[in-house]
Amino acid sequence: MGCLGKTTDEFVSGIFIRNCTFYDTNNGVRIKTWPALHRGIASNMHFEDIMMKNVRNPIVIDQVYCPRNQCNPKLPSKVKIANVTFENIRGSLATAVAVRLNCNSSFPCQKVELADINLMYRGKEGPAKSLCANVKPTLKEKLTPTIC
């Protein structure tokens, strides 16, 4: 899908991704928005029954996406992210960070739910972990690693 908010106001809703397998990829399921450029909404997105095999970034929301210094990462994204569910996502990781929810303080992510997550890392960086900013996700069922 690309990155929201870079060139125009964008509104994305009603995405349902189910029954996928990611092999040796940099990214699994990811939502990313540019800071400060254009307004938009990313809502009603559901990711379910997904297998990760040696994936570097399996579950990501990045509301501060700014690759190669192409923008000012200190400015907030104007794209609102809401009603996102990650359910029954399992498998193996290439890095220790299983879940990264990086939302901004001006438009924090709302109604993010994680349920039945089982992502394992067996490497030099220690056990799998999650990193979260400006989000209070709803957590359900078994969650490995501990989320936020």
Tens-place pLDDT, residues 2-35 = 666 666 667 889 999 999 999 999 999 999 887 7
What span, in angstroms and rounded, lies between the C-alpha atoms of 59 and 47? 10
**Is 90 exceeded by the pLDDT of residue 66?**
no
Model confidence band, residue 65 (pLDDT cutoffs 50, 70, 90): confident
Give the Å distances, CA to CA, from 80 to 34, 144, 147.
11, 27, 22
Please report, as a single letter, which amino acid is at residue 120.
M
Model confidence band, residue 36 (pLDDT cutoffs 50, 70, 90): low
> 70 CB contacts (<8 Å, ≥6 apart)?
none
CA angle 114, 19, 91 (to 5 degrees): 60
Predicted confidence at residue 67, as pLDDT, reads 79
What span, in angstroms and rounded, lies between the C-alpha atoms of 99 and 102? 10
- What is the number of other CB atoms lying within 10 angstroms of the CB of residue 140? 13
pLDDT tens per residue across span 124-133: 998 999 999 9
Three-class DSSP category at 7: coil
Encoding tokens for residue 70? 């192409």
Looking only at the bridges linking them, the beta strands covering 129-133 and 97-102 are parallel
Nearest alpha-carbon partner for 59 in 69, 71, 45, 73: 45
Secondary-structure percent of the chain, ordered helix, strand, coil, rounded to 5: 0, 60, 35
- How does DSSP classify residue 2? -
Predicted confidence at residue 93, as pLDDT, reads 97
- What is the number of other CB atoms lying within 10 angstroms of the CB of residue 25? 15
Predicted confidence at residue 147, as pLDDT, reads 92
Rounded to two decimals, what is the model's pTM? Answer: 0.91
pLDDT tens per residue across span 68-120: 777 776 777 788 899 999 999 999 999 999 999 999 888 899 999 999 999 99
Predicted confidence at residue 8, as pLDDT, reads 66
